[in-house]
């Protein structure tokens, strides 16, 4: 692998550390009675309200439509997700250190699958909260579900709900993009090498090693 792509992968791995200091996703609910805002901040290991007691307030509102209370303790993903992120970070650093192109492609594959699985899992929880409603709830509207959008905005009764990546999520998007760029660089390099092996060997020198 080229120095550039090894640096890119290392930076990608390290930028994932943002997920430990910033939320991954944000869901915001806007209504006239909440000028100070109401919303959720989803971290890899916790769910918090956007304001102090925001989670309680959302749970309090949701009981009218029969939505289950959001209880972070009951969501197992929040317990193992930090280890997945640590694994992704260590994996990235390993790829950067060893510099093996094949490992990079494998890493990109795993990263992509985990990201997709995460998004699917998030959607699944949203679906569950939005559809699995108490049939005796005070407010029942035939055909109405309250699943917040995975990404973007949606009107849910008096609330306009929006869902977007937060700082940690953007860092993860940047990370996966950097790995994609590194893989592209390596893919082009490997194509060039297959056409002109000595030239590549000369450019890559000792750092990249001769492999292809």
Q: Does 136 bind other proteins (CB under 8 A)?
A: no
From residue 120, give the alpha-carbon distance in Å to each of 113, 126, 127: 10, 10, 10
Window 36 to 55, contacts with other proteins (CB under 8 A):
36, 52-53
Nearer to other proteins, 35 or 143 (CB): 35
Rounded Cα gap, residues 120 and 81, in angstroms:
14
Nearer to other proteins, 61 or 114 (CB): 61
Rounded Cα gap, residues 72 and 126, in angstroms:
14
Binding-site member from 32, 73, 74, 138 for other proteins (CB under 8 A): 138
Which window, 23-31, 56-64, 76-84, 118-126, contacts other proteins (CB under 8 A)? 56-64
Cα Rg for the chain, rounded, in angstroms?
Answer: 22
Nearer to other proteins, 57 or 147 (CB): 57
Do the Cβ atoms of 104 and 183 come closer than 8 Å? Answer: yes
What track of x and - describes contact with other proteins for positions 81 through 120 (by CB under 8 A)? ----------------------------------------
Rounded Cα gap, residues 212 and 209, in angstroms:
9
Do the Cβ atoms of 47 and 72 come closer than 8 Å? Answer: yes
Which residues of this protein are in contact with other proteins, per CB under 8 A? 36, 52-53, 56-57, 60, 64, 138
């Amino acid at each position: 692998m080229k120095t550039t792509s090894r640096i890119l992968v290392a930076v990608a791995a390290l930028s994932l550390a943002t997920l430990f200091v910033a939320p991954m996703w944000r869901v915001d609910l806007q209504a006239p009675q909440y000028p100070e805002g109401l919303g959720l901040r989803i971290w890899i290991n916790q769910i918090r309200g956007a304001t102090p007691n925001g989670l309680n307030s959302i749970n309090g509102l949701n009981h009218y439509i029969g939505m289950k209370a959001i209880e972070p303790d009951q969501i197992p993903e929040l317990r193992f997700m930090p280890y997945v992120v640590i694994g992704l970070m260590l994996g990235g650093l390993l790829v950067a250190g060893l510099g093996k192109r094949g490992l990079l492609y494998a890493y990109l594959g795993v990263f992509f699958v985990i990201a997709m699985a995460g998004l699917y899992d998030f959607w699944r929880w949203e679906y569950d909260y939005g559809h699995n409603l108490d049939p005796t709830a005070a407010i029942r509207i035939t055909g109405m579900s309250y699943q917040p959008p995975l990404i973007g905005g949606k009107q849910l009764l008096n609330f306009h709900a929006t869902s977007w990546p937060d700082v940690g999520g953007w860092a993860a998007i940047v990370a996966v993009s950097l790995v994609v760029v590194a893989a592209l660089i390596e893919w082009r390099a490997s194509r060039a090498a297959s056409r002109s092996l000595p030239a590549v060997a000369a450019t890559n020198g000792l750092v990249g090693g001769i492999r292809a």
